[in-house]
Structure 1
Amino acid sequence: MQDALTAGDTDGDTDASAARRATALTFATQGLLFISLTTRLPRFADRWDLGEVELSLLLLMIVLLAGVGSVLAEVVARHRSSASTLRTGLLVVALAVPVVAAAPVGAVFVAGLAVYGVGLGVVDATSNMQAVAVEHRYARPILPSFHGAWTFGGLVGAGLALAGAHLPLWTLAVLAAVPLAALAAPYLPRAVVAPSAAEVVPVPWRPIVRVGLALVVFYAVDTAAQTWGPTYLERAVDAPTELVALATLPYLTASLVLRLAGDGLVGRYGATPVLRTGAVLASLALVVVVAAPTWPVAVAGFALLGAGVSVVAPLSFSAAARIAGGDPARVDAVIARFNQFNYVGGLLGAVLTGLVGAGSLRVGFAVPMVLVLAIVPLARTFGEGVRAPGRP
């Protein structure tokens, strides 16, 4: 196992396997915190008397500020490296979580979510910068395993939400210790390059945008499931409040299994067939969710959905880094900007689903049910310039 982890390492100040574990820890931290917050949205909504429209506006704020954080990450990383910028983002998130959890008034709660949104964007962008840098050191695809770490962290968060369903919301503040611990992890150092060096090499944005559109679709579906799934179970199919996290737990479990198997599936069948099959499965899964007569049926639909869309994000970031080329400064710039597609998708999934579903979340979930089928034609881009498995 150790040989497999270190295969492709090169000499450097930081061992690649240590950097891989550190980056995986960051992804897991992100998943843990994000799912810990979203699975408690029904409780926060009850505490602050928020309806679907108010929740949609708060999610819109988080998405927009996360986009701002991603842009800031690109600018700062040029001068301070992605590792240093990542640590800053983790610190911001660690400060925001206790504020959200223990806010004494609604205004403080909103302010905490705003700070969390900025930190979310910084950590999203820089953790993916680190991931593609480590993948470059390994000289083989490993992005699915990083996103699998995010999913694992999300599973832990969903499990904690189920176990602590009757605990006060302020107890969520203890999770701030996790990003604080991640500050000390040995991330991969990157040479700091002057801004002009990253800009003089042209970037092939056209194919990157095509891959980015698939990422938009994924995050629209993924964010809809994770932010509105618990509320859907509570309000549309009358699930007990203490079990609403079941919208997320099976979804993440299926996603984790498929992400761990993702490298092998893509290596055997190619990215395009895997993505197209997953998109069709995801649409059928959302049909089950929308038409579910009871909450156990809806939970089964969310599980199938997790299996269908699981590998879209890691394959997207890997493809974008490959298209960008091997220059570290250019790759960092491309990944930070490519990460913006994440928030466009989040905007569609979180806000549009809530607004369309203000009267009925069944109608709201019909949006990602149709939208996910856009991955079928977009999947062709992932195979362009890549040799088919088994061919010279």
Structure 2
Amino acid sequence: MPDLRRARLAIAAAFLTQGLVFISLTTRLPRIQNRWDLDELALSGVLLMMVLLAGVGSLVAERLAPRLDSAVVLRVGLVVVAAAVAVVVLAPVSPVFVLGLAAYGVGLGLVDATGNMQAVALEHRLGRVVLPSCHGAWTLGGVIGALVTLGTADVPWSAVALVALLPLAAAAAPYLPRDHGEAATSTETDVPWRAIVMIGLALVAFYTVDTAAATWGPVYLDDVFAAPEELVALATLPYLVASGLVRLAGDRLTKQVGAVRLLRAGAAVAFVALAIVVAAPSWPVAVLGFTLLGCGVAVVAPLSFSAAAALASRDADPATRQARVDAVVARFNQFNYAGALLGAVMTGAVGSGSLRIGFAVPLVLVVALFWLARAFAPADEVPAGAS
């Protein structure tokens, strides 16, 4: 048990680092736009490239994790993220900036996939839901990143490269090793992909909403309301705080209420929140909408991975269970990037004339969560010892 506690702290540190780095970059998008003279369509293009390469990184993780162990691939991903952030910030010319952003996309996919593999393995060894609090660590990192952005608005741009030190430190953490008795080869046998796809569609809806808020929220306040530049990160910060608080309580809420009812209640809150964002007469009202949005959608992603992993491990032979779950988690992570494409690219493209219209994209998609919530019953059935 002490080893599991150390591993849980390490996994939480990986999630926290990923959230901090990602939000540190997205809350500085208006500054990046100005630095490289990017309009909304150009920014959508580079974000599209990053998201597609994150999908590639997730697929690479699927191939490497059964051979090298997800802990090893997670460390590699964190090192890639560290190097890429330094290149993005210190790039002297735009091609180098684009190259750094491409590398960051690959590292993002590696860390996303293997971080969730680690969390799922921990969840199964403990025999209870812990993914909401793991994702809560990501959100806490995002809160820290947004606060740092607010507090360092006047620092030289090159100083932002110091963020790269954090993933380097996280790469040395004691992650959860694979049980030596388990086979290190993946399997496709009897994986219930149809049921997993239903859960994946909910993950698409969530990441459409989440990426739209994180990526375009600051730009929305800047463009539509001409909010003070030093305050545009407020589009992200209250959203993350609200999301983090719900996620940190999510383990207990899921146990008490059940995943299906919890998700449907959250979907109702998210719909109202996005309606407020779209119709907001001023930037403080838009910030209120983003805050409510964080409360509504917080547990969708962690419960998605819990439910998909529970389905993947059901009726699996102990010798192949972890390999199967790792493969499913990495493949399932692609739904993350499908949602990110809609959130980051479609919101910007549809909203190229006005981001009010752009935020109608997640507003429409969040309605699907009411129907898709019924697929989440397996999130209440995490088996003990299914590492």
TM-score, normalised with respect to structure 1:
0.93
Residues 311 and 378 in structure 2, CA contact (< 8 A), matched pair in contact too? no
What is the match of residue 110 of structure 1?
A: 98
Structure 1 pair 120–290 and aligned structure 2 pair: CA distance change class (3 A): same
1:241 aligns with 2:241: no
Offset of 1:64 from its aligned partner?
0.2
Contact 2:310/2:378 (8 A) holds in 1: no
Indicate which of 12, 17, 22 corresponds to 2:10.
22
Q: Which runs of 4+ in 1 moved over 4 A?
A: 191-195, 384-387
What number of residue pairs does the alignment pair up? Answer: 374
Structure 2 Cα separation of the partners of residues 368 and 191 of structure 1 = 41
Cα-Cα RMSD: 1.4
2:242–2:295 contact (8 Å) kept in structure 1: yes
2:254 to 250, 261, 266: 266
Does the CA contact (< 8 Å) of 1:230 and 1:244 recur in 2?
yes
Shift of 1:284: 0.9
1:377 aligns with 2:371: yes
In the other structure, the counterpart of 1:216 is: 204
Letter in 1 for 2:360: A
Which residue matches 1:179? Answer: 167
> Please, which of 37, 41, 45 is the counterpart of residue 57 of structure 1?
45
Distance 1:133 1:379 in 2: 24
Identity %: 63
Number of the residue aligned with 1:390: none
The answer to whether 1:362 aligns with 2:341 is no
- Alpha-carbon distance in 1 for matches of 2:13, 2:163: 14
Where structure 1 has 5 or more consecutive residues not aligned to the other structure, the ranges are 1-8, 388-392
Partner of 2:119: 131
- 2:283 maps to what in 1? 295
Give the TM-score, by structure 2 length: 0.94
Of the three residues 326, 335, 345, the one matched with 2:339 is 345
Determine the structure 1 residue equivalent to 2:134. Answer: 146
Q: For residue 283 of structure 1, what is the aligned residue in structure 2? A: 271
The 3-state SS of whatever aligns with 1:190 is: coil
Relative to structure 2, which stretch is displaced further, 20-29 or 280-289? 280-289
Q: Structure 1 pair 16/384, CA: closer, same or farther in 2 (3 Å)?
A: closer
Deviations 1:134-185 (A, max 9, x none): 1111111110110000000000000000000111221111011111111110
* Partner Cα separation in structure 1 for residue 197 and residue 35 of structure 2: 41
Specify the SS of the correspondent of 2:367.
helix
Q: Do the aligned partners of 1:81 and 1:191 also contact (CA within 8 Å) in 2?
A: no
Alignment CA distance shift 1:240-1:200 (3 Å): closer
Whether contact under 8 Å (1:236, 1:361) holds in the other structure is yes
- Using the alignment, how far apart are the partners of 1:377 and 1:209 within structure 2? 14
Q: Is the 8 A contact 2:259 2:379 kept in 1?
A: no
Written as runs of structure 1 = structure 2, the 5 A alignment for 1:10-89 is 15-89=3-77
Q: Residue type matched to 1:176 in 2?
A: A
Deviation (angstroms), 1:98: 0.8
1:263 Cα deviation from its structure 2 partner: 2.0
The aligned residue for residue 5 of structure 1 is: none
Q: Deviations over 1:107-154 (max 9, x none)?
A: 111111000000000000000000001111111111011000000000
Q: Deviations over 1:260-306 (max 9, x none)?
A: 12122222221111111111111111111111111111111100000
Distance apart, 1:376 and its partner CA? 0.4
Q: Which amino acid aligns with 2:111?
A: V
Residue 120 of structure 1: aligned partner: 108
Give the 3-state SS of the residue equivalent to 2:38 in structure 1: coil
2:291 and 2:224 mapped to 1: Cα distance?
17
Kindly state the Cα deviation for residue 383 of structure 1 after the two structures are TM-superposed.
Answer: 2.0
Gapped regions of structure 2 (runs ≥ 5): 382-387
What code does the residue aligned with 1:36 have?
S
Matched-pair contact (CA < 8 Å) for 2:186–2:324: yes
What displacement does 1:385 show? 8.9
- 8 Å contact kept, 1:79–1:194: no
* Structure 1 counterpart of 2:177, one-letter code: P
Deviations 1:40-94 (A, max 9, x none): 0000001111011001011100110000000001111111100011111011001
